[in-house]
Amino acid sequence: MFLIKWWRFCRGYLVVTVSGPGVERFINLALTRGISFWDLQKRPQGAQLSIGLYSFRKIRPLVRKSRCRLHILQKAGLPFIKVKLRRRRGLVLGGLFFLASLYILTSFIWFIEITGNRAIAKEEIRGLIEQLGIRPGIRKKQLDLLELEQDIARMHSAISWAGCRIRGTLLEIEIVEHRLEPEPDLASADLVAAKDGLVERVLVIEGQAVVAPGDTVSQGDLLIRGVRDYDDSYFPEEEPPVPELVRAKGEVEARVWYEARVPVELRKQVKIETGNTKSRYGLSRAEGDLYLWGVRRDPYDISRREVLRFGLKWRDLSFPIEVTQTIYYEIITKLKEYSLEQALLLSREEAGRRVRAQVPSGVPARGLTYEEYMEHGRRWVRAVVETRENIALLGSR
């Protein structure tokens, strides 16, 4: 279908109306003579159709023969565009000059973006590449990306790897810094409880255990003391050495319970989208956002915002500018009433979600239970979940 439309556009076509008493005869005569047309539509006083430029010359005798009147509504296609452009040579020259200027400008690097740096300042990296002659305005053909990557890593001892890539008029430089291993902290310390729990297992690597399986501990309680003691039996004839302060190491696994409670509400304010939307269009640049059209700010008291980004590309060229569409969806609050069963179900779901959010990542939760109770004349739902985790935490002395 696309090829047919493109072929019709290249050859040119006209949109015409045919009126008079012999419209049907005109159509039949055109079909019997093999004259093709399309988009035939009935009109109050006749018909409207589209016909090719070369076929249009053949239907003039048929119009006279069928006693109809012909009126041209629209001329479309490449032949008519050529005629208009011949009359407006300044526009053609201006367009060609614009395309040539765009092509020339896109053969240069106008923006440099540096990513991946943490300890090294971007200004310091820009100074390095300026020493290599890399700055905005350099021609792309003058860049040897492989050599530039090696030079950047060679010139700074804190850079282990550099990667360079050209995207349109943007030069992207990605930096990977050397990882400096932190010096181990050898100061003596104890292990204390990070949270309340029931001790299940104690593993001592360095230090002395203060708790045993079955003990209940609270947050901050001492678990493993950072002291290296010596058994008196190893020194039967001499005085044992003084206990040495060390950095306690080990694990203390305990059963830990997390709890969350949610009130049961029979009437609740809920947020509902009305379906009304407003949009804001702009350009996103490195210097900031530029407003184009649409609303300038959020027109609603409560809304949900969605941002769509469209990059500007042409073949292998990409521009460091994005067209953004910000859509604001209107939201209103409405008081909704629930039955007791519905309210209990919603409260249980919310309590379960809240209690699961308290469990540390990677720790399996088990034994999720719910409890309904009354407190000060109000109904509540409590969710409790159990875990088994290491609660040992280095504490200060």
305 within domain boundaries: yes
Average pLDDT over residues 352-380: 89
Picking from 156, 177, 198, the residue at the C-terminal end of a domain is 177
Kindly provide the residue ranges of all beta strands, DSSP E only, lying in 102-217, ordered along the sequence.
111-115, 159-167, 170-177, 190-193, 197-206, 208-209, 216-217
- Identify the pLDDT of residue 234: 54
Q: What is the CATH number of the domain that holds 73?
A: 3.30.70.260
Are 132 and 168 in the same domain? yes
Are 208 and 222 in the same domain? yes
Number of domains comprising the chain? 5
11 within domain boundaries: yes
Confidence grade of residue 329 (pLDDT, cut at 50, 70, 90): very high
pLDDT at 380 over 80: yes
Are 331 and 355 in the same domain? no
Residues paired with residue 245 on neighbouring β-strands, in sequence order: 227
pLDDT digits (tens, 9 = 90+) for 47-76: 888 888 878 878 888 888 888 888 888 888
- Identify the pLDDT of residue 336: 85
Confidence grade of residue 85 (pLDDT, cut at 50, 70, 90): confident
Cβ atoms of 239 and 182 closer than 8 Å: no
Domain range spanning residue 169? Answer: 111-177
Are 172 and 122 in the same domain? yes
pLDDT digits (tens, 9 = 90+) for 127-186: 888 888 888 888 888 888 888 888 888 888 888 888 888 888 888 999 888 876 666 666
89 within domain boundaries: no
pLDDT digits (tens, 9 = 90+) for 230-279: 655 555 556 666 678 888 889 999 999 999 999 998 888 888 888 889 99
Are 295 and 279 in the same domain? yes
Cβ atoms of 317 and 168 closer than 8 Å: yes
103 within domain boundaries: no
Q: What is the CATH number of the domain that holds 123?
A: 3.10.20.310
Measuring CA to CA, how many Å separate 93 from each of 77, 80, 90, 174, 314?
A: 21, 18, 5, 41, 21
Cβ atoms of 60 and 46 closer than 8 Å: no
pLDDT digits (tens, 9 = 90+) for 280-293: 888 876 666 778 88
- Identify the pLDDT of residue 390: 93
96 within domain boundaries: no
Most confident among 77-86, 191-200, 319-328 (mean pLDDT) = 191-200
Calculate helix-pair angle for 89-105, 78-87, nearest 10 degrees. Answer: 100
- Identify the pLDDT of residue 397: 59
Q: Report which DSSP code applies to 218.
A: -
pLDDT at 18 over 90: no
Are 216 and 276 in the same domain? no
Picking from 224, 254, 284, the residue at the C-terminal end of a domain is 254
Are 278 and 209 in the same domain? no
Are 142 and 162 in the same domain? yes
Picking from 229, 254, 279, the residue at the C-terminal end of a domain is 254
Are 319 and 282 in the same domain? yes
- Identify the pLDDT of residue 181: 63
184 within domain boundaries: no
Residues with Cβ within 8 Å of residue 152, at least 6 apart in sequence: 125, 128, 129, 132, 159, 162, 164, 173, 175
94 within domain boundaries: no
Measured CA to CA, the distance from residue 39 to residue 50 in angstroms comes to 6
Q: What is the mean pLDDT of the chain?
A: 84
